[in-house]
Amino acid sequence: MTDPPGWPVRREVGSAGTFHARPLPRPARREVAVFEVDRPALVLGSTQADDVVDAVAARAGGVEVVRRRSGGGAVLLEPAAALWVDVVVPAGDELWSDDVGLAFAWLGEAWAGALGALGLAAVVHEGGLCTTTWSRLVCFGGLGPGEVTLGGAKVVGLAQRRTREAARFQCAALLAWAPERLLALLAMDDATRGRAAAELATAAAAVPAASPDLVEAFLAHLPP
């Protein structure tokens, strides 16, 4: 497969822990990394406390617990159930924005264009952060700038880590959505877990497309 103009692409399969520990490229440059986990991983946002996790349940399920360097709620990565893509943009690039919220706009449009090419009517969220009861805990429980929906349900979540040299945008596209699987790994009582599962069921949805097709459509819609 040919990389899109101006965007070197890395494709990796392995541990989410190893993937999230990677430093930003130096010198900073445009880069895309498409990652496929080889084992389940619960990925916490940078500010989430360790005690949100039910460590016993995670160990019993063979789920790796990882902390990413970008903000937001927890994401469950399972083989063939989520597509994870990192996009790096150096400071000073024409795609760079000093406004943290506006910085997502072009990336959301790229994802929406990719979904459109697959025959899906995607919408980019252009407003501010929309929070819910569960959005601080679960990434797909809320909706932020640049994130993408289908039929009102979130299908692509975005987060970013910024330094003076570059921004790393972390994108998660759902290929399956079963919130009870994620919630089973979080520390909460059964009643709260059941309420969360019911309310999150329609907050997000899976993209009805094969992962390779979605990857290639996304790469094709990156700005040159």
> Is 3 among the domain residues?
no
Quick check: 2 pLDDT over 80?
Answer: no
* Structure-block tokens of residue 47: 């500010």
Domain harbouring 184, CATH code: 3.30.930.10
pLDDT tens for residues 53-81? 999 999 999 999 999 989 899 999 999 99
Selection from 179, 180, 162, 182 nearest residue 170 by Cα: 162
Q: Other C-beta atoms within 10 Å of 110: how many?
A: 24
* Structure-block tokens of residue 162: 């910024």
> Are residues 73 and 141 in contact, defined by beta-carbon separation less than 8 angstroms?
yes
Q: Return the pLDDT at 69.
A: 87
pLDDT tens for residues 159-183? 999 999 999 999 999 999 999 999 9
Number of domains present in the structure of the chain: 1
* Structure-block tokens of residue 61: 């399920």
How long a stretch of residues is the chain? Answer: 224
* Structure-block tokens of residue 126: 């252009």
Quick check: 158 pLDDT over 90?
Answer: yes
> Is 1 among the domain residues?
no
List all residues 6 or more positions away from 65 whose beta carbon is below 8 Å from its beta carbon.
Answer: 41, 42, 44, 53, 55, 58
> Is 4 among the domain residues?
no
> Is 197 among the domain residues?
yes
> Is 79 among the domain residues?
yes
Rounded to the nearest integer, the mean pLDDT of the chain is 96
How far does CA 194 lie from the centroid of its chain?
Answer: 24
> Is 199 among the domain residues?
yes
| 186-205: average pLDDT | 97
> Is 215 among the domain residues?
yes
DSSP state of 69: S
DSSP state of 52: G
What distance in Å separates the CA atoms of residue 192 and residue 174, rounded to the nearest whole number?
24
> Is 50 among the domain residues?
yes
**Entry pTM:** 0.95
| 184-212: average pLDDT | 97
Look up the domain containing 147 and give its range.
9-220
The string of DSSP codes covering 116-170 is: HHTT--EEE--SS-B--TTTTTBGGGSB-TT-EEETTEEEEEEEEEE-SSEEEEE
